[in-house]
Structure 1
Amino acid sequence: MTFFEELNNENTYGVALKNIQLKKNIISFLCRNGSYTIADVCKEVNLSVPKVTNLISELIQDGLVEDLGKVESTGGRKPNLYGMVGNSVFFLGVDIKQNHINIGLTDLQKNLIEIKENIPYKLTNSPESLIDLIDIIKNFIKNLSIKKEKILGLGVNLSGRINHDTGYSYSFFNFNEEPLSKSLEKELSIKTFLENDSRAMAYGEFNSGLVKEEKNVLFLNLDHGIGMGVMINSQLYYGKSGFAGEFGHIPLFNNNIICQCGKKGCLETEGSGWALTRNFKEKVEAGTSSILVKKNDPSFSLNQIDMDSIIEAANKDDVLAIDLIADLGDKLGRGIALLINIFNPELVIVGGSLAKTGEYLILPIKSAINKYSLSLVNSDTKIKISLLGEKSGVIGACLLARNRLLNLD
């Protein structure tokens, strides 16, 4: 039985199970540090030379590790170097948005091999929506140039409350008793890991985007809703129940608008994509003009206006869209100022669909931060737009699947 088969065999126990863990430890060491000799690996995993030699031989047979030849030595017999084979296994990442899906593939060395963005999809908490999701994933796998057997793990991002340890989703597809991750595994025959979309986007940005030396970073996912990923001392922060980062539900406003969480006055009620869409339609109904309003088109309806079309209009210099986004930025900046006062982060990364408006959003955010946060604190904080954009969620999902499966956290 190969390492791949052992890894997905739930009936493995005893010595075989222990060997899987030892192989994971070796893979983890080589992935983190590059190529090393057997003696180096022995020191790291605290095993004898014969045992490590045997385990590495098995990993070579499975195509995961390769012999890189002799290393230079000051004297005596030259030892061989061993390293990971980058294209030996792959990891799939699925980032689910409200109206589309992004899906991609990375190799063992974290390289993005393939990605397909903006696949049409409607996210609802229904069996039909789940079936559509599974079909999209199956179709993507079917069209890959690699064998499915080489896909070792799958990461799936969903909005709302996710327990990444148990694999349960409490906001979507929660109509089965078993965890959603298990349901997907049965359908796809790939080990599956579930994560909150904002946290996965943050993880992608922390590992492959803007973050370099920074250890304390906040990532804001500004979309239809508002989410956040938190990195403290270079570690993703989950909180006691795994739900940390509900930035959008800070009660900042004294209004009677019911938030999607069921409460009133949340930041999301006035600082999110769905708030932007609501405000835009109200202004249009009151008579404000916009390039999105087609007065001479009898088929035109306000229902045609959504967050994405407003963002596009702003980038085409639509005055109404720009003004409303600036107002949105001011309200978001007030909330971000609160975060800066609490966390004192080195970096705040602004991502999600609303980040596509660039300076129209960022400038009012920075202005509000300067107005509402402590200057001694915010002077240490940089505000930047996501480097990865839509790719952040896909990369984060792939890396989380890779690291959790191979104990690379």
Structure 2
Amino acid sequence: MKKQMIAHFANEGNTTIPELCNITKLSAPKVSSLLSELISEGIVKDYGKMDSTGGRRPNVYGLAPESGFFIGIDVKKYHINIGLTDFQKNIIKIEERHPYILKNEKGSLQELVEIINEFIAGLTIQKDKILGIGINLSGRINYATGYSYSFFNFQEEPLSKIIESEVGIRVFLDNDSRAMAFGEYSAGVVNDEKNILFINLDYGLGMGMIIDGQLYYGKSGYSGEFGHIPFFDNEVICNCGKKGCLETEASGWAALKKLKSKLDEGSNSLITKKGKHIDEITVEDIVDAANNDDTLAIELIEGIGENIGKGVAMLINIFNPELVILGGVFAETREYIQLPIRSAVQKYSLSLMNNDTTFKLSKLGNQAGVVGACLLVRNRLLALDQ
């Protein structure tokens, strides 16, 4: 029953004894007794009298923010975002764009473990106050078993257990796009919407789905592989090994390929003035150039955006969502990516569908995955949304 009360505080926020009685179906003396135990354990705090228009004002109770902490790690292609939140979703510490190169090699995994341990060592809280670690990776993740099938699948033991043995704290894995979707849903741009598609516009093209207020995983946790819809008859081999995926013409990888082709043809861009070799140019370089009004970068993003919009139009026709959130690195270009996507959606989706769909840019930005990872760990430890 204590766990149910903690879960209610985590999901709904501060509340009163009468409200807890209604939820738990327990008497007021029993609820008061359980609250006293939780307060003595440092998990719950008495926040004093609530505002009232009349009558006796009841006390309000809620989670003590410092009673537990969670670490979220969002692993990108060329960097890591890592942060710490408390029990009330407050970000205590965050490091964005920590240098790191994601490779499917044992050395890359070991470097990830070292970064996590260094972050923990630099915290001012006791290690036993950290209740769990959430790690986001792209590709196929079975969140229930802790296996990653796209990266670091070197041993029979689940990746979550391998990392857990190195850091000494319970570890949970999830797909990066789903964690970002949950971050926005729980603490970002979402208001009252319950049916949401989060499109992760990065080197690849991912998606997280919220259906009826619940994060959707599919049978084995592999849902949302938006980028691998067979969309084009182009004979281009995708990173997944198949041909013609949407990702081959509508992703960061596609933008880099198109950029190199344009530069080889003699096009000019601010990107080349950074002194990088053509093979060292990143998607972030394209985004920075576009935000500095570079014509070539803007044209590339518009082309990518139109292709993405065709794919989103198909999703709208299938799911009829209330809200589509655009996140990931390309979302940092704001209208440069949003306008061609919305234009294509208007052109290719059914008007009755797209008229009911709102588009928003990610509010949490680069922090979406970290916040989502922390909150997913918190929910799993409290057995919420199970």
Q: TM-score, normalised by structure 1?
A: 0.88
Secondary structure of the residue that 2:111 maps to in structure 1? Answer: helix
Q: Following superposition of structure 1 onto structure 2, how do residues 206-217 of structure 1 map, counting pairs within 5 Å?
A: 206-217=185-196
Residue matched to 2:199: 220
1:339 aligns with 2:315: yes
Distance 1:35 1:328 in 2: 45
1:215–1:346 Cα contact (<8 Å) kept: yes
Secondary structure of the residue that 2:209 maps to in structure 1? Answer: strand
Residue matched to 2:349: 373
> C-alpha displacement at 1:162, in angstroms?
0.5
1:133 aligns with 2:112: yes
Deviations 1:329-364 (A, max 9, x none): 111111111111111111111110011122111111
> C-alpha displacement at 1:182, in angstroms?
1.3
> C-alpha displacement at 1:283, in angstroms?
1.2
Cα distance 1:35–1:258, how it changes in 2: closer, same or farther (>3 A)? closer
> C-alpha displacement at 1:304, in angstroms?
2.5
Secondary structure of the residue that 1:155 maps to in structure 2? Answer: strand
Deviations 1:6-26 (A, max 9, x none): xxxxxxxxxxxxxxxx33212
Secondary structure of the residue that 2:270 maps to in structure 1? Answer: coil
Secondary structure of the residue that 1:118 maps to in structure 2? Answer: strand
Secondary structure of the residue that 1:153 maps to in structure 2? Answer: strand
From 79, 86, 89, the counterpart of 2:68:
89
Residue matched to 2:289: 313
Deviations 1:31-54 (A, max 9, x none): 334445556535433456676555
> C-alpha displacement at 1:136, in angstroms?
0.8
Moved more, 307-316 or 325-334: 307-316
1:59–1:65 Cα contact (<8 Å) kept: yes
1:281 aligns with 2:245: no
**Aligned CA-pair RMSD:** 2.2
> C-alpha displacement at 1:173, in angstroms?
1.2
> C-alpha displacement at 1:74, in angstroms?
6.1
1:25–1:407 Cα contact (<8 Å) kept: no
Q: Following superposition of structure 1 onto structure 2, how do residues 167-206 of structure 1 map, counting pairs within 5 Å?
A: 167-206=146-185
Q: TM-score, normalised by structure 2?
A: 0.93
Distance 2:87 2:228 in 1: 37
1:357 aligns with 2:363: no
Distance 2:333 2:14 in 1: 43
Distance 2:271 2:45 in 1: 58
Cα distance 1:40–1:97, how it changes in 2: closer, same or farther (>3 A)? same
Taking only the aligned residue pairs, the percentage that are identical comes to 57
Cα distance 1:335–1:36, how it changes in 2: closer, same or farther (>3 A)? closer
Secondary structure of the residue that 2:89 maps to in structure 1? Answer: coil
Distance 2:244 2:35 in 1: 58
> C-alpha displacement at 1:303, in angstroms?
1.3
Distance 1:377 1:65 in 2: 45
Distance 1:378 1:372 in 2: 10
From 207, 210, 229, the counterpart of 1:250:
229
Distance 1:209 1:408 in 2: 19
Deviations 1:26-84 (A, max 9, x none): 21123334445556535433456676555434322321123445789968xx9865432
Cα distance 1:33–1:275, how it changes in 2: closer, same or farther (>3 A)? closer
